[in-house]
Chains A and B, each alone.
Chain A
């Protein structure tokens, strides 16, 4: 069982909607990540938070907006998405430079 919890597991949203994906970990990890994964492809890094500060933004479009309210929580705010943004969104956490642990992911469908 994963100790990284993601909600919701499934989300269907229209291109004009605003929604959020949520992630929580209680392992005391100080690094948290958002990855995007398309079918039969490896995960692609979107954002890294280290000690609650955004440290890596892999040129992600501004329609994706991350937020780290505290060391246990990570959100991904979604607005005006495109159908090609439909994918599995994975949250992960780690001690800095150590093994990363993933949640089960949130399946996003943009219609």
Chain B
């Protein structure tokens, strides 16, 4: 069963704006990861955040994790047309090996 649930399902913004995507999950996790997928391509790993971390940054990406609310958010600042893609969160249970993916957010950045 899917653990991660992203919202919104689709998001359209103008170039230069910030994009925020959210992910919720149901049970305790070891870590949470965010991925990007361009149409018809493989998934690209963006950021891994562990259950004892609250925030991580990578370039224009900022990920937060709130284990009390069982939620995470991905912020993309100063978006570009090249950021147009689907974004997925994936969660890993403690003692698990199964990364469960949420349904994803389709981001469109308009020039």
Which residues of A come within 8 Å of B, CB atoms?
Answer: 2, 4, 6, 31, 33, 40-45, 48, 50, 55-56, 58, 88, 90, 92, 96-105, 107
Q: Which of A4, A42, A96 counts the most chain B CB atoms within 10 A? A: A42
**B interface residues with partner A (beta carbon < 8 Å):** 2, 30-31, 33, 35, 40-45, 48, 88, 90, 92, 97-104, 106
- Whether the Cβ atoms of A2 and B103 lie closer than 8 Å is no
Known contacts A98-B48, A99-B33, A99-B48, A55 near B97 by CB under 8 Å: yes
Contacts of B97 in A (CB 8 A): 31, 48, 50, 55-56, 96-97
Would you call B33 and A42 a contact (CB within 8 A)? no
Output the nearest chain B residue to A43 by Cβ-Cβ distance: B101
Contact across chains for B102 and A100 when beta carbons are under 8 A apart: no
- Closest residue of chain A to B97 (Cβ to Cβ) is A48
Name which of B42, B45, B97 has the most chain A CB atoms within 10 A of its CB. Answer: B42
Selected A-B contacts with CB under 8 Å, 25 pairs: A2-B42, A6-B42, A31-B97, A42-B2, A42-B102, A43-B43, A45-B98, A45-B99, A48-B97, A50-B97, A55-B97, A56-B97, A88-B40, A90-B42, A90-B43, A92-B43, A96-B97, A97-B30, A97-B92, A97-B97, A99-B48, A100-B33, A100-B45, A102-B35, A102-B43
